[in-house]
Each structure stands twice: as structure tokens, then as C-alpha cells.
Amino acid sequence: MRHPYSQYLIYLILALMFISILTPRRPQKQEPPAVEQEQGLLDPVTEGKAQVIDLTYPLNEGNAYWPGDQYQPFKHETIARLETNSVFSGSYSTPEHLGTHIDAPNHFEPNQPSVDQIPLSQLIGPAVVIDVHSKITSNPDYQVSVDDVLNWEAQNGSIPKGAIVLMHSGWGWRWESYPRYKNADAAGALHFPGFSKEAALFLAEERGVKGIGVDTLSADHGPSKDFAVHHVFNSRGKWILENLDNLEKLPPKGITLIVAPIKIEGGSGGQARVWALVSR
């Protein structure tokens, strides 16, 4: 004889099974798939395979700037202190062309891009260093020549299109003294190295470089009156870097240069943080 509760138990089990079938199941929580590790642009840096070299001088009131009554030195003052304002903050004023900076194409030419209009893609690229420091001792007004460029290429290969060409003159040892750095004579004429007009034309036209950079006060050598190098580059929409630091730490090639100028609307240039990535 079947126990009376057995029939009820069977009905209960069947009912529970029926309910479980009709009840929608919540989807099980799935862990997101692991992000695939793709080759990143900065992997050489994060993995320690590339060295980052800062080519920028710190801004301070001793920084070199172009001489003239219309130009003033860098000024920096504290406007809030932690002790009294619960926050630390400062204010500064500066000419655009002081310290490590960029000359935008509109610096010497009309109807050319201002510093805020330079495409970011034009502010990064392969860089090469032409070392002429051995020629400066006997001639502080030395100008990088087309022969210097061709001699560099004979040893290192052609300068690629879109490159940035840096002049290493060794002038940076004078940086801490503004009078030594601008190197003016008794008549007020400046004396320091730069690029020649011919080399500027060759690099801009024949090699299609994005820009040039120097470790001196100007890309034109000190005695220049017509600033021909500036006109060559600015008239072609190209920019110039001046007062670069640490160029002696760079190899002749195998460099990626990154330029990050302050974005002044309509500005003729401005201070820039410049650094190089170099394979170890």
C-alpha cells in the first residue's frame, strides 16, 4: 500500500520542476575577456628600452632672451601660500621667445600659422644631430653649411623627409651666464653659431624637414641682420626651436623628438617642453 504522503511528495516535486522550467534564468556573470596586449607606441619607454632625454631649460629669471628695450626678462611671483591661503600658486610673465622655445611660422612671415595652429603631427618626428662643436672654438660665428649636412649624410645616410635637424654647437655651457650666452661685443653685435641660409634652403627644399633646432639664442648666427634662416623656414610654414639643452647627450640619429609648446592663440611662438626618445 502506497503511503498517502508519497503521492503528495511526487506532486510537490513535479510542481517545483515545472516552476523551475517556467522561471527565466538569470544569465551567469561573465568575466570580460582579457585585453589583448598590442604593441604600444610607448612600449620601448615603459619597458626601459628607450631613454627619455629632456632638452628643455627650466624657466627662471636668469633665462636668456633676445636683447632690446621691448623685451623683458621672465618674472615669477607667488600669489598664494599654503600657510595663509591653503593653496600654493604663482603668476608669471614672459616674452614668447625666451628660454627653450619655438618660433612659429608667423614669427617672421605674414599669413603663416601661429603657434596654436601648428598641427600636432608636425611637432613630432625623427631627429638628427649635426655636431659642429669642434668648429666653434676658432669661430663663434660659425654657420652650419651644406657640406656639414652632406658630410653627416655620408656617415649616417640621407636625412629622412619630415625629420627635425638639430645643431649641436656646445654653446650650452654658457647658458648660466646671459652675457656669455649672447656674447655681445663692445659695439653690441652678438656672436654665436647658427645655420647658414644655404643649409636652411637645402634642408627645407631638398630634404623636406619639419623644422630645425639650435642650442643658441637664434637659428641665425649672432651677427645676422637679415635673419635669412628664419625667413627660409617661416615662409614655408616651418618652425624653429631655440635654446635647446642636452644636445651633447644625443646620438647622431635614432631619435624621436617631441615638441610641446604652450598654446597661445595667435602667438608667434612660446615656451616649449622638448624631449627626445633614444633607443638604449
Give dist(CA 239, CA 212) in Å, integer.
7
Q: Is residue 25 part of a domain?
A: no
Whether pLDDT at 22 is above 90: no
Instruction: Name the strand (E) or helix (H) holding 213.
Output: strand 211-214
Q: What is the pLDDT of residues 116-127, one digit of tens each?
A: 999 999 999 999
Provide the number of structural domains found in the chain.
1
State the CATH number of the domain containing residue 168. Answer: 3.50.30.50
Q: Is residue 219 part of a domain?
A: yes
Q: Is residue 171 part of a domain?
A: yes
Give dist(CA 50, CA 70) in Å, integer.
42
Note the pLDDT of residue 243: 99
Q: Is residue 128 part of a domain?
A: yes
Handedness of CA 201, 203, 209, 211 (dihedral sign): negative
Q: Is residue 66 part of a domain?
A: no
Q: Which domain holds residue 230?
A: 43-60+95-279
- What does pTM read for this prediction? 0.85
Q: Is residue 261 part of a domain?
A: yes
Least confident of 38-42, 94-98, 99-103, 154-158: 38-42
Cell 570580460 sits at which residue? 32
Q: What's the mean pLDDT in 46-52?
A: 83
Of residues 135 and 50, more confidently modeled:
135
Note the pLDDT of residue 264: 98
Q: Is residue 184 part of a domain?
A: yes
Give dist(CA 226, CA 228) in Å, integer.
5
Q: Is residue 3 part of a domain?
A: no
